[in-house]
């Protein structure tokens, strides 16, 4: 396939990926980041909405703890399947195509959930929702990572992940202002979840396909056009282009060109094992805590509206957590940033459990420790999503990030199911102490596993 000549002043020896690495932050990067981020926020809003729906249905349908656990976990079963399939498809048909498809799937399924009349129907649709949700996140982070300049790649992926907080805040606002207003409030909340289906059209038409993917499929004219669009775009702020000599090569690893078996080859098995461990532990602690949070506060004697209000305030702390991680990840590096935020999550989880029990529960202590948990936990999520795509070569990047996410979703399935069991172990007095101590231990295991990951700050993508 014939390639058009490169723009005047470019260095013919540079690959397209090297040309992208050397760019400043441009309007095209902003367009990609915001376009992907809106999809990410809609994903988070959908995951967040179910926690408020659970609390409402616990009263309206008189659901037991086991039924609530099933409703919370079934979506994560779908996410586990979707994450694995999404990563594989992204390496075969393209990042953008899969991104748009996932938005369509979970948007339509969420809207249909508003019409259900039984728990069985709601559970079935939540599984379908999970298929789309699970596939989207690793694909979006891979696409942004492959376009980001090397110097700020980690920071941009953390900023992308920060849209998760925007989505959770949207869910908390809907939960606070819509769900308690009427018996059908939870249905109207789910109607809002139709938005991703409409946004799928925007993604399909407005976002670029990965240059590395296009090259791997021999579509070099399209790859060249995409790179030139970024090269022509105006720079933003004080961003600067980099010289070729500043980049460090990626760590070499001899792996098969394609196939999931490459993730466990001699060159990659250590990082794959460590990444899967972090994903599992973070999913277990995060979804165990935040999926049940409105219901747990309700069980502590707070009203439905008060519980939702507390969760809204706690959720706001996610934004500064992401901001701190986005700055530190290019200052401290990937591993230490991830480990520090996971350690902070562990301490915050234990504190939340302690202050939430007793004869007198002080709201400011619950909110303060909950905000600390939000701050550290979501900062850790940002660092984790930045690390994943950097660990694998192009042919395995979607598969590698998707497989790690899929393995982590196993923990997100188990976490909501484990909460009623853990509550029973602590008895009536120390129930939340036991629950959040277990979550804190999971965060500590994740922090230890983070140190087995290679430090990729300043390296080009393999």
Do residue 219 and residue 305 come from a single domain?
A: no
255 domain-assigned: no
Domain count, the chain: 2
Domain-located, residue 213: yes
- Give the per-residue pLDDT at 90: 82
Residue 53, domain member (yes or no): yes
Does residue 60 sit in the same domain as residue 168?
Answer: yes
Range of the domain at 108: 16-236
Q: Are residues 284 and 158 in the same domain?
A: no
The verdict on residue 362 lying in a domain is yes
Collapse the DSSP code of 184 into the 3-class scheme (helix H, G, I; strand E, B; otherwise coil) and give the result: coil
253 falls within a domain: no
Domain co-membership, 28 together with 110:
yes
**Which domain CATH number covers 276?**
1.20.1250.20
Q: Are residues 345 and 284 in the same domain?
A: yes
Are 214 and 290 within one domain?
Answer: no
How far apart are alpha carbons 456 and 391 in whole angstroms?
8
pLDDT of residue 44: 85
| DSSP 8-class letter at 261 | G
Q: Which two tokens stand for residue 396?
A: 């395995």
305 and 448 co-located in one domain: yes
Whether 164 and 296 map to the same domain: the answer is: no
The per-residue pLDDT string of the chain (462 residues; one tens digit each, 9 = 90 and over) reads 444 444 444 445 788 888 998 899 999 999 999 988 888 888 888 888 888 888 888 888 988 878 888 888 888 888 888 877 887 788 888 888 888 888 888 889 989 999 998 999 999 999 999 888 888 877 888 888 889 888 888 889 888 888 988 888 888 888 888 888 888 899 999 998 888 888 887 887 788 888 988 998 889 999 999 999 999 999 986 655 554 445 454 444 444 545 566 777 777 888 889 999 999 999 999 888 887 777 777 776 777 778 788 888 888 888 899 999 989 998 898 899 999 999 999 999 999 888 877 655 677 888 898 899 999 998 998 889 888 778 888 777 777 877 888 888 889 888 878 888 887 776 666 677 888 899 999 999 999 999 998 887 766 656
| Domain annotation covers residue 257 | no
Nearest Cα residue to 423 out of 303, 295, 306: 295
Kindly state whether residue 130 falls inside one of the protein's structural domains.
Answer: yes
pLDDT of residue 6: 42
Do residue 105 and residue 228 come from a single domain?
yes
Residue identified by tokens 């988070």 is 44
Percentages of the chain per state (helix, strand, coil), in multiples of 5: 75, 0, 20
The reply to whether 190 and 330 lie within a common domain is no
Distances (CA, A) of 172 to 71, 75, 169, 334, 373: 19, 19, 5, 30, 16
Residue 139 and residue 98: Cα distance in Å, rounded? Answer: 7
Tokens of 304: 């439905």
Note the pTM of the prediction, 2 decimals. Answer: 0.73
Q: Which of 188, 219, 236 is the last residue of a domain?
A: 236
pLDDT reported for residue 18: 87
Angle at alpha carbon of residue 417, lines to 318 and 60, rounded to 5°: 80
Looking at residue 97, what is its pLDDT?
Answer: 84
Q: Is 231 found in the same domain as 173?
A: yes
List phi, psi (to 5°) of 458.
Answer: 80, 0
Asked whether residue 206 is assigned to any structural domain, the reply reads yes
Last-in-domain residue among 215, 236, 257: 236
């Amino acid at each position: 396939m014939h390639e058009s000549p490169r723009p005047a002043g470019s260095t013919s020896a540079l690959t397209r990926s090297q040309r992208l690495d050397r760019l400043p932050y441009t309007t095209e990067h902003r367009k990609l980041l915001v376009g992907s981020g809106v999809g990410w926020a809609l994903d988070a809003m959908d995951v967040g909405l179910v926690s408020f729906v659970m609390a409402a249905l616990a009263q309206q349908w008189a659901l037991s703890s086991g039924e609530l656990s099933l409703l919370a976990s079934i979506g994560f079963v779908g996410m586990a399947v979707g994450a694995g399939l999404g990563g594989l498809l992204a390496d075969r048909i393209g990042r953008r195509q899969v991104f748009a498809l996932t938005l369509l799937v979970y948007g339509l399924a969420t809207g249909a959930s508003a019409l259900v009349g039984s728990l069985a129907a709601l559970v079935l649709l939540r599984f379908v929702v999970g298929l789309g949700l699970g596939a989207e996140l690793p694909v979006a982070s891979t696409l942004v990572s492959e376009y980001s300049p090397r110097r700020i790649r980690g920071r941009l992926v953390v900023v992308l992940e920060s849209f998760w907080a925007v989505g959770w805040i949207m869910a908390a606002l809907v939960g606070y202002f819509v769900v308690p207003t009427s018996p059908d409030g939870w249905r109207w909340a789910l109607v809002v979840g139709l938005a991703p289906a409409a946004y799928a059209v925007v993604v399909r038409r407005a976002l670029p396909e990965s240059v590395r993917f296009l090259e791997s499929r021999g579509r070099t004219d399209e790859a060249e056009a995409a790179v030139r669009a970024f090269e022509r775009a105006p720079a933003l702020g004080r961003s600067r282009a980099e010289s070729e000599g500043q980049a460090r090569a990626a760590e070499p690893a001899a792996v098969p060109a394609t196939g999931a078996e490459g993730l466990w080859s001699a060159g990659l098995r250590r990082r794959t094992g460590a990444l899967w461990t972090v994903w599992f532990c973070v999913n277990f602690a995060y979804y165990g805590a935040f999926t049940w949070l409105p219901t747990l506060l309700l069980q502590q004697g707070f009203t439905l509206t008060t519980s939702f209000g507390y969760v809204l305030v706690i959720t706001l702390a996610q934004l500064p957590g992401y901001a701190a991680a986005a700055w530190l990840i290019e200052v401290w590096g990937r591993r230490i940033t991830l480990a520090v935020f996971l350690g902070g999550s562990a301490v915050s989880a234990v504190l939340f459990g302690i202050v939430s029990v007793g004869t007198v529960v002080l709201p400011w202590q619950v909110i303060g420790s909950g905000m600390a948990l939000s701050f550290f936990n979501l900062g850790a999520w940002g660092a984790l999503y930045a690390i994943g795509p950097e660990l694998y070569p192009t042919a395995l990047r979607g598969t590698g990030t998707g497989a790690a996410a899929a393995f982590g979703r196993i923990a997100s399935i188990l976490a909501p199911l484990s909460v009623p069991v853990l509550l029973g172990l602590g008895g009536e007095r120390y129930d939340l102490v036991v629950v959040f101590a277990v979550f804190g231990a999971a965060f500590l295991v994740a922090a230890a596993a983070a140190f087995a990951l290679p430090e990729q700050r300043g390296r080009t993508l393999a």
